[in-house]
Amino acid sequence: MKSQPFYKIKISAKIVLSILFFVLFLFHNTNTFAQKKDFVVVLDAGHGGKDPGKVGYRNIKEKDVALKIVLQIGKLLGNKKNIKVIYTRKKDVFVDLWERGSIANRANADLFVSIHCNAHNTQAYGAETWVLGTHANKQNFEIAKSENSVILLEENYEDNYKGFDPNKPESIIGITLMQEEYLDQSIQLASIIQKRFKNELKRRDRGVKQAGFVVLYQTYMPSVLVETGFITNKIEGPFLNSMGGSKKIATSIYKDIMQYKKQLAVNSVVEKYVPKKIEKKLVVKESTQQANTNLNVIYKVQIAAGARKLSLNSYNFKGIKNVERVKFGSIYRYFIGNSSNYKNIKKKQKYAKTKGYSSAFIVAFKNGKRVSLKKVLGKS
């Protein structure tokens, strides 16, 4: 075989080195970019277009107030570094509920905030923030039904929502918590929002609540729906509709998002949950079930979460004993179970549900930190 000239070999080496340098350059910049990933916030102005939402005092429309507030929140957030704002709508147009959730999911958003206004046939007033959950009573069902009824205006809603009927309680009861991994964070943000409304804006605090809102059900990230006030109230309605009032509400929610983001950064570094050691008997038993066991992961069942610090007596948890309490930011989470075997922890979840905790769900910890359950199960 005829050997190649030396100069050709030398040129080829230079080319290889150049390519290698270019790849390393890209890798370095990719890592740098990943470290500086934007915090993506999706802002959702409720209703719009052919759907006015609620109509209040002096013909104030919910869709107009919600959009006014959202645009001002977005403007404030847009001035901050490493924050990317995405809107489900920036003008008076109709957007399907399923599309609002899809916008957030496609953007791989870190947060979804939906802005709405309340209405009532009395002079009710005040603000409340909602997270996803099955309705706790008839009143919550009626509120969820009102917000969800917009899907009846959408084309082919039967296909988009797989037979979901906003007028039937069983439809909302049937909504599973697709956001189970994000419920704590949603409650955390909702609590921050309500606290500032009360303390800084002096609004009536109507609390953090749970109901089966379809727009929240469609998203896969921490999500809240803010009812900023009652447009049917003779004082609150004009306040919300005014430029000054909407600006105060927008500024408050903007501060809440920034506080939430800061707490996330702190908790990701500071919070370390160190689970109890697994009993030797449990390890021996699970050694025969390797298909369901991941010794690097501890599974637990979360049965409740909230701002109140409850004593761990069984009477506070419907007779359940050995409940653990872990604080995450301003939220307390309550767990039962402690196992590296997924099959065993499923039994604990089933037990919790028989006790009345219908929304009990499984969480995973690895090296003392909470990790995505889906990812763990995909690897195990």
Task: State yes or no: pLDDT of 108 exceeds 90.
Answer: no
In angstroms, how far is the first alpha carbon of the chain from the final one? 52
Q: Is residue 2 part of a domain?
A: no
Whether residue 193 is found in the same domain as residue 56: yes
8 domain residue, yes or no: no
Query: Would you state the pLDDT for residue 165?
Result: 53
In a domain, 261, yes or no: yes
Among 94-98, 132-136, 255-259, 318-322, the least confident range: 132-136
Task: pLDDT band for 153, please (50, 70, 90 cuts).
Answer: low
| Nearest one of 374, 225, 360 to 303, comparing CA atoms | 360
Q: Is 340 helix (H, G, I), strand (E, B) or coil?
A: coil
The answer to whether 113 and 224 are in contact (CB under 8 A) is yes
- Decide which of 222, 247, 268 is a domain's last residue: 268
230's tokens: 């009652």
Domain count, the chain: 2
- pLDDT tens for residues 61-70? 999 999 999 9
**Do residue 231 and residue 326 come from a single domain?**
no
Q: 61, 63, 64: which is closest to 232 by C-alpha? A: 61
Helices (H), the chain: 6-35, 62-78, 97-106, 138-148, 157-160, 169-173, 183-199, 214-217, 236-241, 243-270, 280-286, 342-354, 373-379
Task: Please check whether residues 93 and 211 belong to one and the same domain.
Answer: yes
pLDDT at 272: 37
149-163, 302-316, 339-353: segment of lowest average pLDDT: 149-163
111: CATH? 3.40.630.40
- Asked if residue 365 and residue 249 are part of one domain, the reply reads no
Of 375, 304, 355, 249, give the one whose Cα is nearest residue 133: 304
Residue type, 327: K
Give yes or no: residues 224 and 287 share one domain: no
Choose from 30-39, 43-52, 321-330 the range with maximum mean pLDDT: 43-52
What does pLDDT average to over the chain?
A: 75
Domain hosting residue 348, numbered range = 280-379
**Are 125 and 233 part of one and the same domain?**
yes
Q: Which of 215, 246, 268 corresponds to the end of one domain?
A: 268
Q: Are residues 349 and 225 in the same domain?
A: no
The dihedrals phi and psi of 209, each to the nearest 5 degrees, come to -135, 165
Is the whole model's pTM more than 0.85, yes or no? no
Tell me whether residue 199 is in a domain.
yes
Whether residue 261 sits in one domain with residue 330: no
Q: Which residue has the tokens 């447009």?
A: 231
54 with 188, same domain?
yes
Q: Is residue 125 part of a domain?
A: yes
Question: What 3 state SS string does 135-163 have?
Answer: CCCHHHHHHHHHHHHHHHHCCCHHHHCCC
